[in-house]
Amino acid sequence: MLGRPAMISQRPLSPKPKAIDDCYLTVADATCEQPPGIFSRISWFVETLKLHEILRTILFKLYNHGGLEAFEATGHQTNSRNGPDIQSIAQIDAELQAFKENLPKLLDWDWKAHQITGKVL
């Protein structure tokens, strides 16, 4: 990864969207919210953006060959000659575990929805 950093290495300039369906976004309300108990159809997209951030961390900490340019983009340095350190790997593992633990139930691949409702959602 010499020269300019890849597009995935650039931090997004805007915040992640909230998981609110279009039908609940109104100009009349100062703040819009998804009603409790109604699963948002864009939750998958929001969770994908979170995974994208973890992927950016993985690329910088484990596969960083961008030198100073990469250091300036991320604010931390990796030692690409000796490979990734165990602390970086442990941090990434913790981020992935936290991601999985905070997934909405309907997106959790281990959650058995049919055991609770009696049918597959």
pLDDT exceeds cutoff 90 at 50 = yes
pLDDT exceeds cutoff 70 at 35 = yes
pLDDT value, residue 93: 95
Q: Which of 52, 76, 53 is nearest to 64 (CA)?
A: 76
pLDDT value, residue 60: 84
pLDDT exceeds cutoff 90 at 92 = yes
pLDDT value, residue 40: 93
